[in-house]
A and B are shown apart, each in its own frame.
Chain A
Amino acid sequence: MTSLIKNILYILFLVSITNCKSTFMIENVDYASYLESVIKPDKDGFVVDLKNNIRFSIHSLVEREFGLNDPTIINEIRLIRNTRGYYFITAHKFKHVYVFLPESGKLKLKNRIEVSSSGIEYPFLNWREPYVELVSDTMELIFYLNERGIFEKNKERNS
């Protein structure tokens, strides 16, 4: 019994140490980039955002949006990061705003927010804390987004 209690205490001790190690974190980190990045893909379909220190291929993104494996149809992508660290990505003629969460060596799609059935013309993204503002001259409304989707639609800019 004593040995059992000892073992249990030992296990509890180990668990507490392990917990201490894994739960240590810096909180209230703001990932927001405040200003969107407008990035032109290179000939291989890669975009480099020096501001956010990120480089990735847009092949899969283009394929997902247009069903084509030709990244050259995209002239530039617009990318912004919110406070929680999600990447919001869209481009000219996109119907959606893609929300990615960065993971080790990959960007994991968190959400695909549909903003236009016909594709948005020359969109741009602004950081309006705590939302990402999506604006396009061809759209009647202005969208305020978070990683979960459209938070609000307005006629006036919220700036």
Chain B
Amino acid sequence: MKNIISILLLIITIPLSVLSQKSDFDMVEDFKSDIQNLSYKIENIISSSQINTFHMEIEKTKKIYGKNKLMFDRALYPQNIEQTFTQLELSLLAVENRLVLIEHQREQLVSMRNRTASMKLEINRLYTITDTLKRKLSSAKKEVNTYVNELKGYNDLLIQRDSLVIRIIDSMLISYDKTVSIISDLKLKKPKLLNSDSPLEWIYTVLTQINATTDYNSSFLTVEDYLRMHSLQIRFNHAWKKMQAGLITVYGLNDDYLQLSIEHELKIWDDRSQKYMWSNIHKYLTNQDMILSTFSDADSFFESLENYIQESHRLTKQEFLSKKGYIQSKKVADFWNSTFKNEWLLYSNVFYSGETQNIERIDKSLSYWENDTQPIHPMFVSILSLALVSITGFIFLMIKTKEKR
């Protein structure tokens, strides 16, 4: 603002000074003063937007003083008026360059400030996202914990269900055994009992519910679960076979619909439980580095496992100095005793033909393998070596003594 006022004053005062009666000397002095002022103002320009105003100002001043060019040229000797204005223009140009540079730097600074502000906003946004993610993660952890607990609950419920089914089946069997004589009488009399009291209905309901609710393909079921459920199926099947005739006599009346339905559900249960059980056992063993040939039922499983044990035994029985074979045999034994037999025999107290022999054979094979590959204790090796050295030394001494004689 100050600059503009000064320039306006300069514009107004210069013509007045010229128009009034003045000596050349004063005019020259005024000229020098004006040029000095202009030069000073040019040096103190703070914005490139003022440059044009000063260009115009120089032109105006040149026009005004140019009228007395000759006088000024002589008075300003060795300089002249043109040189004076050229110098002014040059200094204005230099100032302009400087200002443009400064303003460019200022622009860059502003740009950098803007970028910094933008980055700060971005960082804040990221912090917010991070917080949200942290909250989500925390929530997800809680959900996972809940899920794990629910899964555990599900597995517990499965076990409880199986146990309950077994208890009911057992109690039914006990009751059945106690009432066998009565049933024989009923067989003759053929009484009519109400369907609502029929255990056949219950058996059918249990079977349909087991088949409907058991997801054999669930990734949450373990090998132990499959084995336990299969064991339950065998036990249930066995109980059914035992009670089937009597129960149908008493409750089945003339129609065999329920019987067929129960048979059908039992078949489904058996097929599905076996299919998933064997495939999962195979997968589990493969993951444990126990590569067995394929199997799809109990017989082929026993055969495959026995073959594997014998083959592994053959390959490792010479390695009594290393623990490799022994460790392998222990791993198979661990699966066989702790996982398989534990669950396989949990509910099944009745074995099919040849099953006991198969189990015994595998027990024996495993025992042999384990014994053959049990590594020798290092102390024993040391004692043996010491004994050998002693005997060799003794023989050597004996020979020497004999030679002296």
| Residues of A participating in the B interface, judged by any CB pair closer than 8 Å | 34-38, 78, 124-127, 135, 137, 157, 159
Contact = CB atoms under 8 A, between A and B. Distances in A.
Interface string B4-42: 000000000000000001111110100000000000000
22 contacts: A34-B71, A34-B74, A34-B75, A35-B25, A35-B28, A35-B71, A35-B74, A36-B24, A36-B25, A37-B25, A78-B23, A124-B22, A124-B23, A126-B23, A126-B24, A126-B25, A127-B24, A127-B71, A135-B21, A135-B23, A137-B21, A157-B21
B21 A35 contact: no
Nearest to A125: B23
Of A78, A124, A125, most buried by chain B (CB within 10 Å of CB) is A124
A137 B22 CA distance: 9
Contacts of B23: 36, 78, 124-126, 135
Contacts of A37: 25
B184 interface: no
Contacts of A159: 68
Q: Which 8 pairs from chain A and chain B are nearest by CB?
A: A124-B23, A34-B74, A35-B75, A126-B24, A36-B25, A35-B24, A38-B25, A137-B21
A116 to B, nearest CB: 16
Contacts of A157: 21
The DSSP consensus for interface residues of chain B is helix
B160 to A, nearest CB: 124
Interface in B365-391: none
Contacts of B71: 34-35, 127
A137 to B, nearest CB: 6
B66 to A, nearest CB: 14
Contacts of B22: 124
Contacts of B26: 124
Of A35, A124, A159, most buried by chain B (CB within 10 Å of CB) is A35
Contacts of A34: 24, 71, 74-75
A15 B132 CA distance: 122
A25 B52 CA distance: 54
A125 B26 CA distance: 10
Contacts of A125: 23
A153 B241 CA distance: 158
Of B24, B68, B74, B75, most buried by chain A (CB within 10 Å of CB) is B24
B25 A124 contact: yes
A127 B77 CA distance: 15
B184 to A, nearest CB: 158
Nearest to B25: A36
B62 to A, nearest CB: 19
A74 B2 CA distance: 40
Contacts of B24: 34-36, 124, 126-127
A48 B75 CA distance: 18
Nearest to B29: A38
Contacts of B28: 35
A89 B143 CA distance: 112
A127 B22 CA distance: 13
A82 B340 CA distance: 137
Given A35-B74, A36-B23, 4 more contacts: A34-B24, A78-B25, A126-B25, A159-B68
A159 B67 CA distance: 10
Nearest to A33: B74
A101 B117 CA distance: 80
Nearest to B23: A124
A36 B75 CA distance: 9
Nearest to A157: B21
A42 B75 CA distance: 24
Of B22, B25, B28, B71, most buried by chain A (CB within 10 Å of CB) is B25
Contacts of A38: 25
Nearest to B77: A34
A150 to B, nearest CB: 18
Nearest to A159: B68
Contacts of A36: 23-25
A47 to B, nearest CB: 15
A57 B234 CA distance: 148
A126 B70 CA distance: 13
A15 B54 CA distance: 68
A35 B71 CA distance: 8
Nearest to A122: B23
Nearest to B74: A34
Contacts of A127: 24, 71
A38 B21 CA distance: 16
Interface string B93-131: 000000000000000000000000000000000000000
Nearest to A34: B74
A143 to B, nearest CB: 13
Contacts of B75: 34-35
Nearest to A124: B23
Contacts of A124: 22-26
